[in-house]
Amino acid sequence: MGRSLRTKIMSGVIALLILFAAALAVTLFMVYDSDNEVAGINEYHLPILTRLNSLDVITYEIELLAHRSIGDSAPSQERIEEILTRSKKCNAQINSIFSETKILCEKGSQDDRNDLADRLEMARLVGEVTSLEAEVHRFAVAATLPIELIAQSKMREAQTAILQLRNYEYLDPILSGIREKANCLALASIAETRENIQNIIWTNVAIFIAASILGFFVFLLITGRLQSAFRRLTSAFHETADGKFSDPLPVTSSDEIGDLTTSFNVMVDQLKSKEKLREAFGQFLDPRIVANVVNPATGELRHSADRRKATIFFSDIAGFSGIGEQLTADNVVGLLNHYFTAATSGIRKHHGIVDKFIGDAVMAFWTTPFSEGEDHARDACLACLEMRPAFAQIEKDISQITGLRRNIPKFQVRMALATGDTLIGTIGSATTKSFTVIGDTVNIASRLEGVNKVYGTDLIINEDCYRLAELEIEAREIDFVTVYGKTEPVRIYELLSKMGQLDPKTAELRDAFAIALRHYREQKWSEAEKGFQNCLKIKAHDGPSLEFLSRIATFTRTPPPKDWNGVWQTASK
């Protein structure tokens, strides 16, 4: 009995030590988080803000130099050269500021020491600073021009050039807006650091109070719990040894006895359900995968992976969160089951492998040996085209599926395919493995699924997929884009139908869109606008046409650089 009491006392002491250790760990974590915030402020927030403030000063100085050169009634050549030299130095400083600012924003957006909100804001700043850079460079060139003209004794042309600087007054609010964002970013991090310090103080106070209370009651509670738990376990072990499987024992604690009770329940459940699990196993793992990952000679798993060209599929339900809020849990499951069934049926029928379900998203892939040679892209396209009418049928039946009679949600599925090199094989830990596919192509497919939102489409494929399947499908080129998180541009297409099954109206739209797209890339904005307007006459509310018309309106006001290659940076994840 004495030994039992010593064990209980030691358990109480250990519990207190664990609590204090947890307090220390939480404190250290919060201190570390605060240190990261301070480091982010010093390394990114303040330097970015300083450079943006300097940019405002330097652009003002360039404009002032231009006016000063005009204001002098008869400036000497030496004075003009001095002003021109200073103007060129200002231009160099502007280049340096933009370069350093973008580097800081890019590094800050990838630095895990910054929290997610800061990284996202810095990532957005990269795009805004890049857009601003071209505008400021044009302004700097325009502000330097009067000085250069005066240096050439062209006073009248210089006066005309100085008047053109009024066209750049719109830069002031843009610069102010970016500075304000950088300032808010720094202030938010400072406020978060102060909040962390307050949390550290109150967390330690709360843990100290909890430890004090626990010290009074832990010894009173532990004795009775240990004794009753041991009696239940001893009796259950004897029954199990005699071949009688007992009902699950209640887990009344989270200590070692609770772990032992949980382990015992798991053991009994495994003994009772072993055969049932074997029968049900085929519902969770495609038999074709089993044939590839199990060595038929030894029955052991193949622990290998290899590089193959594959076509990756991603889909999800548009606005599923909003749909889920209107439905009961059973109706949500029922809707998802209809959707997953339609997707899985089309994928498996055309030799695809369903990799996983991620919420309302489906990931699948096509590759050898499941598809022959390079037919994986064709098989994937045909599967997606077959899913379309299946999803449309769910849209028609959604009232019956969900039980809703009013405010019936719209059911729309967005899909994407990407073909490229991947790593395929058995991947996982020593105890849990999965036959899956990983690589950059998987990420591109996931991003392209989200890009559907930009163009109002439901099925986008990349160029590699189109090239392998173009003899079997009809598609229209949509754009040349850089997807979120990538640097290499991707040419994307909207998959329309099987070859020879495209209706005349859609064929007309595809051809008209191709002409308008060519004019757009040649920066013939007027012709491109007319072309896309014509597309809307063929198909009202055509998403890609509406997107390009929006861009043209922007480019008309702010043309892209002369060396622009037509690539569009998407913001969708």
What average pLDDT does the segment 93-119 reach? 81
184-197 tens-digit pLDDT = 777 777 777 777 77
* Highest-scoring range by mean pLDDT, 17-31, 63-77, 473-487: 473-487
Percent share of the chain, pLDDT over 90: 35
* Per-residue model confidence as pLDDT tens digits over 440-466: 999 999 999 999 999 999 999 999 999
**Helix, coil or strand: residue 22:** helix
* Range from 92-106, 377-391, 474-488 carrying the lowest mean pLDDT: 92-106
Residue 298: what pLDDT? 46
Query: Any idea what DSSP says for residue 161?
Result: H
Buried b (16+ CB within 10 A) or exposed e, 459-479: bbbbbbbbebbbebbbbbbbb
The pLDDT, as a whole number, for residue 226 is 62
The band of 4, judged by pLDDT with boundaries at 50, 70 and 90, is very low
Instruction: Compute the half-sphere exposure of residue 279: CA atoms within 13 Å on the CB side of its CA.
Output: 4
For the chain, what percent of residues have pLDDT higher than 70? 82
- Asked if 463 and 552 touch (Cβ cutoff 8 Å), the reply is no
Question: What residue type is 9 in one-letter code?
Answer: I
pLDDT at 279: 45
Find the helix packing angle between 171-241 and 46-71, rounded to 10°. 170
Residue 288 reports pLDDT greater than 60: yes
As given in the structure block, the two tokens for residue 20 are 């204090």
Identify the burial level of 531 via C-beta atoms within 10 angstroms of its C-beta, where 0-12 means exposed, 13-18 middle and 19 or more buried.
buried
Mean pLDDT of the chain: 81
Degrees, nearest 5: CA angle 136-141-143: 90
CB atoms within 10 A of CB 171: 16
Q: Measure the CA dihedral 388/394/396/400, to 10°.
A: 180
pLDDT, residue 3, reads 46
Angle at 548 between CA 545 and CA 550, to 5 degrees: 110
DSSP 8-state class, residue 408: P
- The full 3-state SS of 234-271, as one line of letters, equals HHHHHHHHCCCCCCCCCCCCCCHHHHHHHHHHHHHHHH
Amino acid found at 309: K
Sign of CA dihedral 233, 238, 241, 243: negative
* Cα 351 to Cα 366, 379, 470, 503, distances in angstroms: 7, 7, 19, 27
pLDDT score at 79? 77
The token pair that represents 174 in the structure block = 């843009």
Q: What is the DSSP letter of 282?
A: G
The answer regarding whether domain 32-198 maps to CATH 1.20.120 reads yes
pLDDT digits (tens, 9 = 90+) for 28-40: 766 776 677 677 7
Residue with tokens 């173009």: 470
C-alpha span between 323 and 339 (Å, rounded): 13
Q: Which amino acid is at 133?
A: E
Q: Quick one: pLDDT at residue 286?
A: 62
pLDDT band at 317; cut points 50, 70, 90 = very high
| CB-based burial label for 196 (10 Å; 0-12, 13-18, 19+) | buried
* Residue 275: predicted pLDDT: 43
pLDDT of residue 73: 57
- In order of 9, 18, 267, the CA distances from 251 in angstroms are 22, 21, 14
Q: What is the mean pLDDT of residues 257-265?
A: 71
pLDDT of residue 497: 95
Q: Give the closest residue to 549 by CA, choosing from 455, 475, 481, 457.
A: 455
- Please compute the mean of the pLDDT values over residues 429-449 and round it to a whole number: 88
The CA-atom distances, in angstroms, between 60 and each of 53, 54, 87 are: 11, 10, 11
Contact (CB, 8 A) for 394 and 338 = yes
Phi and psi, residue 249, nearest 5°: -80, 145
CATH of the structural domain 287-438, one choice from 3.40.50.300, 3.20.20.80, 1.10.3720.10, 3.30.70.1230: 3.30.70.1230
pLDDT for 510-532, tens place per residue? 999 999 999 999 999 999 999 99
Residue pointed to by tokens 């005066």: 150
The more confidently predicted of residues 149 and 9 is 149
Select the highest-mean-pLDDT range: 106-110, 427-431, 503-507: 503-507
Q: What is the pLDDT of residue 538?
A: 95
Average pLDDT value for residue range 316-343:
90
Residue 528's pLDDT is 95
Residue 477 host element (H or E): strand 473-482
Which pLDDT score, from 0 to 100, does residue 364 have? 95
With bands split at pLDDT 50, 70 and 90, how would you rate the model's confidence at 412? very high
Domain ranges of the chain: 32-198, 287-438
SS3 113: coil
Q: How far apart are CA 374 and CA 382, in angstroms?
A: 14
Structure tokens at 59: 């652009």
Query: Is pLDDT at 280 greater than 90 in this prediction?
Result: no
Residue 166: which residues within 8 A CB-CB, separation 6 or more?
none
Angle at 484 between CA 482 and CA 487, to 5 degrees: 45
